[in-house]
C-alpha cells in the first residue's frame, strides 16, 4: 500500500509552481534540515495550503530527501524551488528561520517530488487534518480525489495514467476499491 503525507505548504511556493509550464520535478524544501522520513520513495506528499485557503492543493510523488546548502539547491532545481531567483529562495527561507542568518551556504531540507499535480483553485476546502499526518492513498481517494473527475483532470502517478471515477460511479463497497488500482 502506498502512503501519503499531508504537509503544510507555503502558498507562494504553490502559486508559483502551479503556473510553471511542463514541470516534472519540484523541490518541496523545508527551512531546517531535519530528515524527512514520513513516506518511502513512491509515496505521495500532499500539499495542504496554509491559511486562509486551508485546502488540499495537489500532490507529488516522493523521490528522495537530502539536506543541501541553499546555493546547491538553487543550482540543482532553479525555479523548481518555487521562486524565480536564488535571492528570493534565501528570503523565503529566512521568513521561516528567524533565529539565524540565512545565506547561500545555509542548509535546508530538500524533498524531491516528481510528477507534481496542482489542483485548480475551485476545489473545496479541508478544515480537518491540520498539520502533518500519514494516510493511506485509498482513504485519500475516497475523501478527495473524486472532485478532480468533475473538473475533467487526469493525473499521472508512477507512469500509470488514471482518471478518477465520477462521483456517480464511485464504488459503494470497500472490496470494489481494488478495481481502481
Q: Tell me how far apart the alpha carbons of residues 173 and 178 are, in angstroms, rounded to a whole number.
A: 10
Q: Give the angle 109-49-39 at the CA atoms, nearest 5°.
A: 45
Mean of pLDDT over the chain: 76
Identify the DSSP state of 40. -
Nearest to 39 by CA among 172, 154, 168, 140: 140
Q: What is the pLDDT of residue 123?
A: 62
Architecture label for domain 3-135: Roll (2.30)
What's the pLDDT tens digit per position in 63-98? 999 999 999 999 999 999 999 999 999 999 999 988
Q: What is the pLDDT of residue 124?
A: 52
What is the pLDDT averaged over residues 22-50? 90
Q: Where are the alpha helices (DSSP H) in 30-170?
A: 70-77, 86-96, 137-140, 146-150
Cα separations in angstroms, 130 against 47, 109, 144, 180: 12, 21, 15, 27
81: exposed, middle or buried (Cβ count in 10 Å: 0-12, 13-18, 19+): buried
Handedness of CA 170, 8, 58, 116 (dihedral sign): negative
CA dihedral angle for residue 39, residue 45, residue 51, residue 52, rounded to 10 degrees = -160
**pTM above the 0.75 mark?**
no
Domain positions in the chain: 3-135
Q: Tell me how far apart the alpha carbons of residues 51 and 53 are, in angstroms, rounded to a whole number.
A: 5
Q: Tell me how far apart the alpha carbons of residues 113 and 151 are, in angstroms, rounded to a whole number.
A: 24
What's the pLDDT tens digit per position in 59-70? 999 999 999 999
Amino acid at each position: 500500500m502506498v502512503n501519503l503525507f499531508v504537509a503544510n505548504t507555503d502558498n507562494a511556493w504553490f502559486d508559483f509552481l502551479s503556473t510553471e509550464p511542463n514541470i516534472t520535478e519540484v523541490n518541496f524544501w523545508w527551512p531546517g534540515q531535519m530528515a524527512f522520513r514520513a513516506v518511502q520513495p513512491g509515496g505521495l506528499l500532499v500539499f495542504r495550503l496554509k491559511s486562509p485557503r486551508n485546502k488540499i492543493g495537489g500532490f507529488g510523488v516522493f523521490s528522495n530527501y537530502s539536506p543541501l546548502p541553499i546555493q546547491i539547491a538553487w543550482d540543482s532545481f532553479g525555479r523548481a524551488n518555487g521562486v524565480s531567483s536564488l535571492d528570493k529562495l534565501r528570503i523565503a527561507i529566512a521568513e521561516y528561520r528567524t533565529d539565524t542568518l540565512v545565506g547561500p551556504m545555509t542548509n535546508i531540507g530538500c524533498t524531491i517530488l516528481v510528477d507534481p499535480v496542482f489542483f485548480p483553485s475551485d476545489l473545496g476546502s479541508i478544515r480537518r487534518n491540520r498539520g502533518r499526518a500519514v494516510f493511506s492513498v485509498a482513504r485519500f481517494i475516497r475523501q478527495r480525489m473524486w472532485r478532480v473527475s468533475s473538473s475533467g483532470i487526469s493525473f499521472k502517478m508512477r507512469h500509470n495514467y488514471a482518471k478518477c471515477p465520477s462521483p456517480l460511479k464511485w464504488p459503494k463497497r470497500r472490496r470494489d476499491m481494488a478495481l481502481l488500482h
